[in-house]
Structure 1
């Protein structure tokens, strides 16, 4: 059966990890009872600051491991929501090392590999974070490469972060389909020359009209449909 576009022109499919394969809010959800009614707000602040810190450092020409930014972002979130007991900090960080994969992820990766496509992660996460998360989610045997931006010393959307995928997979960028739930990451992938597919899990409005995805899906189930 022929693969749907843009997979029909691809040799590899590369995924962002956090928010795309892994549910970044599952760490807080596991401890929602201890956190109380501010759990969703805490999780959203944590995620927003984690990303913001990566963008600011990149624009300043600086770099720190993503785990360090994750810790700093959680500290800000706890300070921003002082009604949450800061005693949950260690438990939340431990939970972040083993985030839940979205339920359709294993079957999607298996189907892509059966179709003869290489599969990989390209993530802002540092190597230790990614290794722990992939192992906990049971995805290690389903990926040809787990790529951290750490060797590039910068975060996405810097082009040299995206450079890591074609180099590691020995595939031209024009033959790589890149999936992310983050619209800013899709913009970066489009500018770089990947075929970007936006996994718009939460039904967000579109943006970055000059850097559009080639396709929009609501979950990974839609990739092969």
Structure 2
């Protein structure tokens, strides 16, 4: 069955989640952060994801902005960088994360080829709209879908169901793209065609559902969608 819809995870897939810490570390007066930002960025992302999974299991949902703040607070304390001004700067930068360099042209190609395109993300609607606007990719997207409409984080099946409901399509009509191995596995198990963007060269997750394609970046997505 040919692909009709191309769906993208947001954070880590289209948007560089390490950019906030990297940019802040390069600013004047951030010597302590400059020495620690890679660990801070890694801890922040890990805790952000862990808290989303745990809250889903605990049925204790809050929006992703709260989870993002909670993860940052843990990461700052772990690196002995619990500075309120730094916290506010990092959060401000997270609201306007940079897109990976290949993203605008890749999305433009998909639209030129006639595919519907959208984001499906744990992010809250306001976070996602700010990131899309900052990256300048809104004209290349038909929609931005947030888990807030179902009140549970990925990898809950109800989240992936937002795509088939929105576009009136079968799961097999969808090419789903994510940089998260667990997300790729869950989307594949749901029935999507899946491309895992494995920028870090990580091992394949031992989970039900396997990605159909494994990539190092996003440039080839328009070619995959036509296969």
- CA distance in structure 2 between the partners assigned to 1:14 and 1:173 by the alignment: 11
Alignment partner, residue 120 of structure 2: 122
The alpha carbon displacement at 1:106 in A equals: 0.5
Aligned residues of 1:78 and 1:86 also touching (Cα < 8 A): no
Alignment partner, residue 168 of structure 1: 166
Aligned residues of 1:38 and 1:84 also touching (Cα < 8 A): no
- CA distance in structure 1 between the partners assigned to 2:207 and 2:97 by the alignment: 32
- CA distance in structure 2 between the partners assigned to 1:151 and 1:135 by the alignment: 21
Alignment partner, residue 134 of structure 1: 132
Task: Mark the runs of 5 or more structure 2 residues left unpaired by the alignment.
Answer: none
- CA distance in structure 2 between the partners assigned to 1:85 and 1:151 by the alignment: 34
Report the 3-state secondary structure (helix = DSSP H, G, I; strand = E; otherwise coil) of the residue aligned with 1:98.
coil
The alpha carbon displacement at 1:27 in A equals: 0.4
Aligned residues of 2:189 and 2:208 also touching (Cα < 8 A): no
CA-based RMSD of the aligned residues comes to 1.3
Task: Mark the runs of 5 or more structure 1 residues left unpaired by the alignment.
Answer: 1-7
Alignment partner, residue 5 of structure 2: 12
Alignment partner, residue 5 of structure 1: none
- CA distance in structure 2 between the partners assigned to 1:224 and 1:126 by the alignment: 27
Matched, 1:67 2:60: no
- CA distance in structure 1 between the partners assigned to 2:217 and 2:112 by the alignment: 19
Query: 83-92 vs 11-20, which deviates more?
Result: 83-92
Alignment partner, residue 202 of structure 2: 204
Alignment partner, residue 220 of structure 1: 218
In structure 2, which of residues 15, 28, 31 is the aligned counterpart of residue 22 of structure 1? 15
Aligned residues of 2:186 and 2:208 also touching (Cα < 8 A): no
The alpha carbon displacement at 1:175 in A equals: 0.2
TM-score, length basis structure 2: 0.93
Aligned residues of 2:175 and 2:192 also touching (Cα < 8 A): yes
Alignment partner, residue 89 of structure 2: 91
Query: 196-205 vs 47-56, which deviates more?
Result: 196-205
- CA distance in structure 2 between the partners assigned to 1:84 and 1:163 by the alignment: 39
Matched, 1:190 2:193: no
